[in-house]
């Protein structure tokens, strides 16, 4: 049976409804309508209620499905903050409306943040080292840092690194090392140096470009990435998390990749990330493998 993972500790996020290839979400005090290709079912609320609640709606461009524009209501802010709490972890993140429909957080990752925090806290090392690859605005980096880890945060987009640094400051944390570079190039260099990390977090996109234009294609590059990461993981205290968002990628693919690179792991678990809407519909949002 496939294991299902969903965050349990959000107060500033709610998936209100989903359907007809859209999702209605509350982030803090703002409600947004965004496209969602996997919400193939009908909406539970009438269209009039979606229009009443939504403060901003994202509409895709006809000639570029990856980009679009936001239609803003009168009371909508283009930037605002939310918080996430778990045990003694209390992080804050600045959100913003972008032309790629993303707003600076993937709320389904909350379960991974809890996992990271717990694993780091359980380690005997006074300062565990954690590597976060394709790290985006840094939710996972903040969770590791809040637990006491020395964090290396790698992303190829400089403005995103700046955004993540702002989130660190909002969370009143310090000490994260910021790397603007292609993730695969970075881990290859770290492997040559003989570097070791107690935790490795991977959240690779289906497609992407490195800081110097390097091409990333998930199905072509992920195997090499995992093999290289296997030489970086500390053989003593360790954990690894890999999330895959590419539609059609089964969690079994992730399992096979991890087993091939790391061998049999008693604590290996895998399955689907999802969010519950207020009507009990489960929205799948990628797969996960971790140990």
Contact yes or no for 153/141 (Cβ under 8 A): yes
151 to 42, 127, 154, 190: CA distances (angstroms): 42, 10, 10, 14
CA distance 150 to 50: 43
Question: Has residue 118 been placed in a domain?
Answer: yes
CA distance 211 to 194: 23
Question: Has residue 86 been placed in a domain?
Answer: no
pLDDT at 74: 84
Question: Has residue 225 been placed in a domain?
Answer: yes
Q: Which of 54, 72, 90 is the last residue of a domain?
A: 72
238 to 12, 34, 166, 226: CA distances (angstroms): 31, 37, 28, 15
Count of the separate structural domains present in the chain: 2
Residues 154 and 48 in one domain: no
Q: Which of 72, 91, 116 is the last residue of a domain?
A: 72
Question: Has residue 246 been placed in a domain?
Answer: yes
Residues 25 and 107 in one domain: no
Is the whole-model pTM more than 0.85?
yes
Going residue by residue through the chain, which has 291 residues, state the pLDDT in tens, using 9 for 90 and above: 679 999 999 999 999 999 999 999 999 999 999 999 999 999 999 999 999 999 999 998 877 766 889 999 988 999 999 999 999 999 999 999 998 889 999 999 999 999 999 999 999 999 999 999 999 999 999 999 999 999 999 999 999 999 999 999 999 999 999 999 999 999 999 999 999 999 999 999 888 888 888 888 898 999 999 999 999 999 999 999 999 987 678 999 999 999 999 999 999 999 999 999 999 999 999 999 999
CA distance 116 to 132: 11
Contact yes or no for 140/132 (Cβ under 8 A): yes
- Residue 197, domain CATH: 3.40.50.150
Question: Has residue 94 been placed in a domain?
Answer: no
Residues 104 and 16 in one domain: no
CA distance 148 to 143: 9
Residues 119 and 57 in one domain: no
Contact yes or no for 37/12 (Cβ under 8 A): no
Residues 139 and 43 in one domain: no
Burial 6-40 (b: 16+ CB within 10 A, else e): bbeebebbbbbbbbeebbbbbbbebbbbbebeebe
Residues 146 and 183 in one domain: yes
Residues 187 and 266 in one domain: yes
pLDDT at 247: 67
Question: Has residue 8 been placed in a domain?
Answer: yes
Contacts of 120 (CB under 8 A, 6+ apart): 128, 130, 144, 147, 148, 149, 198, 199
Residues 161 and 255 in one domain: yes
Task: Take residue 238 and report the two structure tokens written for it.
Answer: 């360790």
- Residue 48, domain CATH: 2.60.40.1180
Residue 291: count of CB within 10 angstroms of its CB: 17
Name residue, tokens 């570079």.
Answer: 181
pLDDT tens per residue across span 152-189: 999 999 999 999 999 999 999 999 999 999 999 999 99
Cα 228 to the center of its chain, rounded Å: 21
Residues 237 and 280 in one domain: yes
Residues 240 and 162 in one domain: yes
Residues 180 and 55 in one domain: no
Question: Has residue 261 been placed in a domain?
Answer: yes
Residue 58 domain boundaries: 3-72
Contact yes or no for 137/93 (Cβ under 8 A): yes
pLDDT at 50: 98
Q: Which of 72, 87, 112 is the last residue of a domain?
A: 72
Residues 253 and 136 in one domain: yes
Question: Has residue 123 been placed in a domain?
Answer: yes
Closest CA to 134 of 206, 70, 68: 206
pLDDT tens per residue across span 78-110: 999 999 999 999 999 999 999 888 999 999 999
pLDDT at 210: 83
Closest CA to 80 of 91, 67, 69, 96: 96
């Amino acid at each position: 049976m496939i294991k299902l993972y969903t965050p349990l500790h959000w107060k500033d996020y709610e998936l209100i409804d989903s359907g007809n290839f859209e999702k209605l979400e509350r982030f803090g005090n703002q409600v947004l309508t965004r496209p969602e290709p996997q919400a193939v079912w009908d909406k539970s609320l009438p269209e009039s209620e979606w229009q009443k609640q939504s403060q901003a709606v994202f509409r895709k461009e006809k000639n570029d499905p990856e980009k679009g524009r936001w239609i803003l209501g009168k009371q909508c802010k283009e930037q605002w903050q939310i918080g996430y709490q778990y045990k003694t972890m209390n992080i804050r993140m600045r959100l913003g409306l972008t032309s790629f429909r993303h707003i600076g957080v993937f709320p389904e990752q909350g379960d991974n943040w809890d996992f990271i925090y717990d694993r780091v806290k359980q380690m005997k090392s006074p300062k565990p080292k954690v590597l976060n690859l394709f790290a985006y605005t840094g939710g996972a980096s903040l969770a590791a840092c809040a637990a006491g880890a020395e964090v290396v945060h790698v992303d190829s987009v400089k403005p995103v690194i700046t955004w993540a640094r702002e989130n660190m400051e909002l969370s009143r944390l310090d000490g994260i090392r910021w790397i603007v570079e292609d993730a695969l190039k970075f881990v290859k260099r770290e492997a040559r140096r003989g570097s070791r990390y107690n935790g490795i977090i991977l959240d690779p996109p289906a497609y992407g470009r490195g800081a110097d234009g390097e091409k990333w294609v998930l199905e072509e590059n992920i195997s090499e990435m995992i093999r290289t990461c296997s030489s970086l993981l500390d053989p003593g205290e360790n954990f690894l998390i890999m999330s895959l968002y590419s539609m059609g990628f089964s969690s079994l693919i992730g399992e096979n990749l991890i087993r091939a690179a790391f061998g049999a792991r008693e604590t290996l678990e895998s399955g689907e990330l999802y969010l519950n809407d207020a009507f009990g519909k489960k929205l799948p949002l990628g797969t996960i493998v971790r140990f």
